[in-house]
A and B are shown apart, each in its own frame.
Chain A
């Protein structure tokens, strides 16, 4: 990750901007939606092969400490993955089959136009490449 950040800094213009966003945490709400109504029915777990956000944060903190980037602003937002059936969800999470079966049961109860979705809480941060005077490599 550290090397990738250095490469990105290299191809950015002085004062260029790096935007980075990723899901926060390891357990995200699993919801059934129908029209404007939302009901949380459980949680999904972050997939094991997905790097955790702590490791990403460490790499970015190191890049800031090294002067490769300046951290300017950050905020959080929610991003949704929505499906007709739990088997269609392909995001960076694991949904055990027992939980999927329960979700199907509740989906059927909710009605034909109900959908299932995962709500990923994300962090978004803006970084700036220093315009000069900083040793990047």
Chain B
């Protein structure tokens, strides 16, 4: 049985205490297996998760939220070369990434 990382969601709770994600365009840098991506998407206008690890990204695709109100894209990319135009996002989140 896999371990549960942050099943209490203390990270998203702490985050919401410092930033309002409502209607925000969010970049999640190093989304990994997408453990937190859905939590961000619940409030945001849309979320783009990037990760350089293709295996982890594949796992994130499996658990990507499917509800129509959630808008999530997952992209294989590195933080050092982001494949986006300038000034695309309102919020960038690095969680256990640097």
Contacts and interface: CB of A to CB of B under 8 A. Distances in A.
Co-complex (A, B): yes
Interface residues of B, number: 38
Q: What is the predominant secondary structure among interface residues of chain A facing chain B?
A: strand
Interface residues of A, number: 41
Contacts of B94: 8, 18-22
A18 B24 CA distance: 12
A122 B11 contact: yes
A135 interface: no
Interface string B83-98: 0111111111111111
Contacts of B14: 21, 75, 77, 122, 124
B44 to A, nearest CB: 12
Interface of A: 1, 3-4, 7-8, 10-14, 16-23, 51, 56, 59-60, 73, 75, 77-85, 88-92, 122, 124, 126
